Structure 1
Amino acid sequence: MKKLVAILLTLALLVTAFAGCAAETTEEDVTIRIGGLKGPTSMGLVKVMEDDEAGTSLNDYEFTIAASADEVTPKLIQGELDIVAVPANLASVLYNNTEGAVQLLAINTLGVIYIVEKGESIQSVADLKGKTIYATGKGSTPEYALRYILAENGVNPDTDVTIEWKSEPTEVVATLNSTEDGVAMLPQPFVTVAQGSVEGLRVAIDLTEAWDALDNGSMLLTGVLLVRREFAEAHPQALADFLEEYEASTTFVNENPADASVIIEKVGIVKAAVAEKAIPYCNITFIAGDDMKAPMDGYLAVLFEQNPKSVGGTLPDEDFYYAE
C-alpha cells in the first residue's frame, strides 16, 4: 500500500511538473508582432531587431515598419499586431474608441518637431504670422502641438497662417526644394534629411523649447508604444522581457549613434549618415510604469483643453496605463 501511495505521489508530481513546463513553453514560444514608423519612434527599437535576427533576444519578434500610423493601427485593433508605435495623442484616441482594448506601454519619444526655413526671417513664433507652413502630421501630435504653440503666442492658426498638409515628410522636403523662401514643420530625422538636400535650410524654432517656454506644467510628447490588452493579459512575462530589452535598446541607440545608425539603415528607417546626425536631436527615451503617468496626463490635458477630439473626446482613466 505504501509503495502504491508513493508511486501515485510521484506520478502526481510529474504531471504537475510537465504541466508547468508546458505553460512555460507557451509563454516562451510567443512571437511578439510589433509595428513601427519610419522615424524616431522606431529608431529606439533597432537593437531589439538586431538581437532578434541574431537569435539572442529573450523573445521571438516580427517587425513591420510603415510610413504612417494609418498602416499599423488597424492591424493592432484587428489583432494582427500586438504592439505599435503611434503618435502620443493617438494612443488616447484608440483607447477611447476601442473601449479600453489597448493600453499605453511606454513613452518612447519626446519632442522632435522643428520649424525650418530658407532664410533668416523667423526668429520667434510670432514671426510665423502671414507665412505658409508646409507640414505633415495632420490629426496627430504635430498638428495639435503647432496649433497650441501658435495660439499661445498670439498667432491664430486658422487665420494668421496657412498650413499646407502633406502626407509624408519627403513631400515637404520636395516642396522646400521647389520654393524660394519656404517654411516647414518637420520632425527629426527628416530635418537632417532636408538640410542635406535643401540649400540654405536652417532650424528656426525648436517646438519643444517653445512648448517649455509656456511653462504649462507638461511636456511635449511625440511617440508612445501601445499594446493590445488581450495580449498583455495573456503574456505578461513575454511583455516584461520585451520592456527590459526595449529599454536597453533605447540606451544603446542614444549612447552609440554611429553603431545604431548602421542598423537603422539596415532595417529601412533612414540612411545611416542621416540617422547618426539626427539621433542626438530625436529625444529617444524609455518611460514606463508609474513614471509615464504624469507626463502623459499633463500632455493630454493640454490637448483636451484645446480640442477634446484630439484625445478621443475624453481623457483616459487609470486603466489606460499598463502596469506589470
Structure 2
Amino acid sequence: MKRAFASILASAMMLFALAGCSGGGETTTNETQDPAPEGSSQATEPVTISVGVPTAPPALPVLHMMDAQLLGENVTIDLNVWNAPEELLAMVQGGEHDMYAFPLTVVSTLYNKGLDVRLMNVNTWGVTYFLTTDPDFTTWSDLAGKTVYIPLQSSPPDALTQYFLNEAGLTVGEDVEVIYASTAEVASLLASGQAEYATLIEPQVTSAMNQNSEIRRALSFEEEWQRVTGTDTMIPNAGFGTTQAFIDENPDLVAQFQEAYAESVQWVLDNPAEAAALAEEYLDMNAAVVEAAIPNMGLTFKSAQDARGELDTFYQLLHDFDPSMIGGAMPDDGLYYEG
C-alpha cells in the first residue's frame, strides 16, 4: 500500500477538478473598494493576498469575499487557479503564495514532509457517493465479482472505498476489480453507461445523474462513515490553509480572512444561484451545474481547532489503512492554526 509522495499529491489534489465546469487555469485579481469601518483590523496599507484554489467548492466563498469586498479597500485578492498537482506543490514550495485550498490528505502530507503549512479551517465535508445503474445493488458485499471505477488512486475516496470494501469482507484485486481514472473520466463513463459502479464526488455526481436517469446514489459515504465509526460526525474532505510565516507577518489579516471566509461559506449556501454566477464569471464554471450541486457539496465551515475531533478520526482511519496517504504519521498540533 506504500505509494510515492508525488503519487499521493497527484491523486488527492486532482479530486478537486470539476470536469466540464471550468475553462482552464487563470488568475483573477479583485481589489476591494469599501472603506474599512472605524476600529476594524483591516489593513491600513495596500496588501495583496495571493490565494491558490482549484475550480471546486472551496473556491466559491473566496469569490464572494472578492465580489462583496469583505477585506476592505486596501486588500487585493490575487486568485490563482491550480489545475495540476505540480502547480499546487509549486505554489507551496515556491513561497510566493499566501493561502491555499487543500485536500486534507495533501496538507497533512506536506506538513509531515516538513513544509511550512498550517490548516486554518475545514470547509468541505462528505461530498462522496457510491453510484450505480444496477437496480439490485444494496450494499458493498454485492460488489463481489464486479468492477468499480474510482477517481484517482491514493485519494480519500479511494481509501474510503477500499476501507468499506474490506470491512464488507472483500479484497481489491481478488474479489473486486478497481479501475482508476480521472474524476471527469469516471463521470463520463457513468453517464454513458460504460461503468455500472463508481465512487464519485460532487458536483460530478449531479452532472452524471443529469445525463443518465438510471444512475442513482446507492450509498452515501457520510452514512457509511458514521456506520463504521459509530459516530455522528461528518467526513472532512478539504480546507483552507496558509503558512506559519504568513501568520506571523499578518496575524490580523489572517484572522480577518478566516472570519470573512466563514461568513462567505454561509452566503454561498443561502444564495446558490448568485454563487454559481460568480463561479461562471470568475472561473468559467458551468453555472447551472454548480447551482444544482451546491446543496450537496458539503460546504460547512469549522475552524481547524473546532474540527479536531473529526480530523483526528479521519486521519487515524487513513493512517490505519495506509500511513503514506497522510505523510506517514498522524499530524501533530503544529498543523492546526490557533487563531
Per the normalisation by structure 2, the TM-score is 0.81
The DSSP-based 3-state class of the residue aligned with 1:267 is helix
State the Cα distance separating 1:58 from its structure 2 match.
6.9
Relative to 1, partners in 2 of residues 1:47 and 1:175: Cα closer, same or farther, differing over 3 Å? Answer: same
| Residues 2-41 of structure 1 mapped to structure 2, 5 A cutoff | 28-41=45-58
2:288 match: 273
| Residues 126-145 of structure 1 mapped to structure 2, 5 A cutoff | 126-145=141-160
State the Cα distance separating 1:192 from its structure 2 match.
0.8
Identify which of 139, 148, 154 aligns with 1:124.
139
- What do the CA deviations read for 1:93-139 (whole angstroms, capped 9, x no partner)? 01011x25111111011110111122313211222222222221422
Looking at structure 1, the residues matched to 73 and 193 of structure 2 have their Cα atoms a distance apart, in angstroms, of 47
- What do the CA deviations read for 1:179-228 (whole angstroms, capped 9, x no partner)? 45522211101111111223422211111111111134464211111212
List gaps (5 residues or longer) in structure 1.
1-23
State the Cα distance separating 1:59 from its structure 2 match.
2.9
1:95 matches 2:120: no
Looking at structure 2, the residues matched to 140 and 172 of structure 1 have their Cα atoms a distance apart, in angstroms, of 14
Relative to 1, partners in 2 of residues 1:199 and 1:243: Cα closer, same or farther, differing over 3 Å? Answer: same
- What do the CA deviations read for 1:281-321 (whole angstroms, capped 9, x no partner)? 11101111530222111211111111111111111111111
Looking at structure 2, the residues matched to 230 and 107 of structure 1 have their Cα atoms a distance apart, in angstroms, of 20
The DSSP-based 3-state class of the residue aligned with 1:270 is coil
Q: Any conservation in 1 of the 2:189–2:195 contact (CA below 8 Å)?
A: no
2:60 match: 43
- What do the CA deviations read for 1:15-46 (whole angstroms, capped 9, x no partner)? xxxxxxxxx99874221111112222223332
Identify which of 306, 315, 318 aligns with 2:330.
315
1:62 match: 78
Per the normalisation by structure 1, the TM-score is 0.84
2:171 match: 156
1:234 match: 249
1:10 match: none
Relative to 1, partners in 2 of residues 1:289 and 1:240: Cα closer, same or farther, differing over 3 Å? Answer: same
1:298 match: 313
1:170 match: 184
Q: Which residue identity is paired with 1:194?
A: A
Identify which of 57, 80, 86 aligns with 2:102.
86
Task: Name the stretch that deviates more: 226-235 or 157-166.
Answer: 157-166
Task: Name the stretch that deviates more: 225-234 or 194-203.
Answer: 194-203
The DSSP-based 3-state class of the residue aligned with 1:238 is helix
Relative to 1, partners in 2 of residues 1:215 and 1:27: Cα closer, same or farther, differing over 3 Å? Answer: same
Relative to 1, partners in 2 of residues 1:246 and 1:269: Cα closer, same or farther, differing over 3 Å? Answer: farther
2:279 match: 264
Q: By percentage of residues, which structure has more helix?
A: 1
Q: Which residue identity is paired with 2:126?
A: G
- What do the CA deviations read for 1:160-192 (whole angstroms, capped 9, x no partner)? 22221113x221222224445522211101111
The DSSP-based 3-state class of the residue aligned with 1:40 is coil
Task: Name the stretch that deviates more: 64-73 or 106-115.
Answer: 64-73
Relative to 1, partners in 2 of residues 1:159 and 1:82: Cα closer, same or farther, differing over 3 Å? Answer: farther
Looking at structure 2, the residues matched to 42 and 303 of structure 1 have their Cα atoms a distance apart, in angstroms, of 25
1:195 matches 2:209: yes
Bigger radius of gyration among the two:
1
Q: Which residue identity is paired with 1:79?
A: G
Q: Which residue identity is paired with 2:218?
A: A
Looking at structure 2, the residues matched to 51 and 25 of structure 1 have their Cα atoms a distance apart, in angstroms, of 15
The DSSP-based 3-state class of the residue aligned with 1:155 is coil
| Residues 102-121 of structure 1 mapped to structure 2, 5 A cutoff | 102-121=117-136
Looking at structure 2, the residues matched to 121 and 41 of structure 1 have their Cα atoms a distance apart, in angstroms, of 35
Q: Any conservation in 1 of the 2:129–2:217 contact (CA below 8 Å)?
A: yes
Relative to 1, partners in 2 of residues 1:187 and 1:174: Cα closer, same or farther, differing over 3 Å? Answer: same
Q: In angstroms, what is the RMSD of aligned CA positions?
A: 2.3
